């Protein structure tokens, strides 16, 4: 018997108007949709959002858009036009949150400054996610993931020692900013729920600061120790062994043994118990100081054995490790399968599309599976009917290129 009960999510009843573009801020709204929020995606009538034109695209259909904007209803509206601005402001009292990511000052130029927004809805939470924030000398700069990954200090930690810093083949900075966006929304919703008389808020979220926020030790180690952390390849500068290794048959895997107990088990797994008492390696600080020699020994042993033997030994001795997965490995892994880590989003073009599961899970709840992201203006009739606009109104607005 299934002990779970269907649940609309902890953010059920929260209404979010997502007028942001591309990925960072929209992904924050998507995370809220996963938790039950009613998210309406507002786009320009021409469907010019860059994410609609980024690979992967199949038969002209934007696959990334579909999975990144899952669970949302889609409308079109040009808020830069007087009629569009009028409709936009009339809608705001029905929403709890507005998410935007235009360059600082853009909404002000369109007659949608924060005072005007809060006049329309005094309890509105306005999340403004930009590359560098609403203040400071860089406030008007365009923000892209690779730019604020570099500026935050994060990119300086990647790559081989002495070589070029490296970006990953995914806009990680956008994803992290999106998580902070969702956190901002949930935090402010909790505040308002606890005080019916509380006013709304303007959230100034800098994507650069969001990424920098995760790099806790950088400022303190520089001030107190004079250290500047930099790239060390697949190693870390704070624990050892912690590296990427290659088996005899060419399989790359990541391994970390930070604690003394795990290090002892690792030495047993590779039949080198003498490395436990070796004066160079007997404590973690000494292992960090002598990581070249330490890694040389482990790399040599791993390079002499096939991965199947290595993995069996490491599992037997409970050493944390994992082969470097690609998406094929993720799909085939029995743990991911058991937890249904890939769900299928209902989609009008493909029947369904695979996407990562809802995170986090709440024990005892079954979350509804969201549908894929909307087509341009797909829900215009449905959403605008909620605000009293009928078919004739929508036809007129289309003729004026307002929707």
Strands 72-76 and 242-246: unpaired
- CA distances for 211 relative to 22, 160, 173, angstroms: 18, 21, 6
Q: Which secondary-structure segment (H or E) carries 331? A: helix 327-332
Contacts of 169 (CB under 8 A, 6+ apart): none
- DSSP per-residue letters across 258-311: -SHHHHHHHHHHTT-THHHH-TTTSSHHHHHHTHHHHHHHHHHHHHTS-HHHHH
- CA distances for 339 relative to 25, 233, 330, 332, 355, angstroms: 28, 32, 12, 12, 14
Q: How far apart are CA 325 and CA 37, in angstroms?
A: 32
Which residues does the annotation mark as catalytic?
174
Q: How far apart are CA 380 and CA 395, in angstroms?
A: 11
Peptide bond into 375 cis (omega under 30): no
């Amino acid at each position: 018997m299934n002990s779970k009960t269907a649940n609309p999510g902890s953010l059920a009843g929260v209404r979010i108007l997502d007028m942001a573009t591309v990925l960072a801020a929209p992904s924050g709204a998507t995370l809220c949709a996963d938790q039950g929020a009613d998210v309406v995606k507002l786009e320009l009538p021409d469907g010019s959002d860059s994410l609609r034109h980024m690979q992967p695209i199949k038969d002209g259909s934007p696959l990334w858009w579909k999975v990144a904007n899952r669970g949302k209803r889609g409308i079109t509206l040009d808020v830069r036009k007087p009629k569009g601005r009028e409709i936009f402001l009339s809608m705001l009292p029905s929403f709890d949150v507005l998410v935007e990511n235009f360059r600082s000052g853009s909404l002000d130029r369109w007659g949608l400054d924060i005072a005007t927004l809060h006049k329309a809805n005094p309890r509105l939470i306005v999340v403004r996610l930009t590359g560098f924030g609403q203040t400071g000398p860089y406030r008007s700069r365009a923000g892209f993931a690779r730019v604020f990954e570099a500026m935050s200090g994060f990119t300086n930690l990647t790559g081989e020692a002495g070589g070029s810093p490296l970006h990953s083949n995914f806009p990680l900075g956008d994803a992290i900013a999106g998580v902070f966006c969702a956190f901002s929304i949930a935090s402010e919703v909790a505040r308002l729920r606890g005080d019916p008389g509380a006013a709304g808020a303007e959230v100034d979220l800098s994507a650069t600061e969001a990424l920098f926020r995760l790099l806790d030790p950088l400022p303190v180690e520089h001030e107190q120790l004079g250290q500047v952390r930099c790239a060390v390849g697949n190693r870390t500068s704070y624990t050892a062994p912690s590296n990427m290794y290659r088996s005899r048959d060419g399989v790359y895997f990541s391994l970390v043994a930070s604690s003394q107990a795990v290090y002892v088990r690792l030495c047993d797994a590779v039949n080198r118990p003498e490395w436990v008492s070796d004066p160079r390696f007997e404590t973690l600080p000494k292992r960090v100081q002598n990581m070249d020699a330490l890694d040389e020994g482990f790399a040599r042993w791993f390079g002499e054995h096939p991965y199947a033997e290595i993995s069996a030994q490491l599992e037997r001795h409970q050493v944390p490790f994992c082969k470097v997965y690609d998406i094929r490995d993720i799909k085939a892994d029995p743990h991911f399968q058991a937890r249904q880590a890939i769900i299928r989003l209902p989609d009008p073009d493909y029947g369904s599309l695979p996407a990562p599961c809802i995170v986090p899970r709440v024990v005892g709840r079954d979350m509804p599976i969201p549908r894929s992201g909307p087509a341009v203006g797909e829900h215009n009739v449905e959403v605008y009917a909620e605000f009293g606009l009928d078919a004739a109104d929508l036809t007129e607005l289309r003729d004026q290129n307002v929707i």
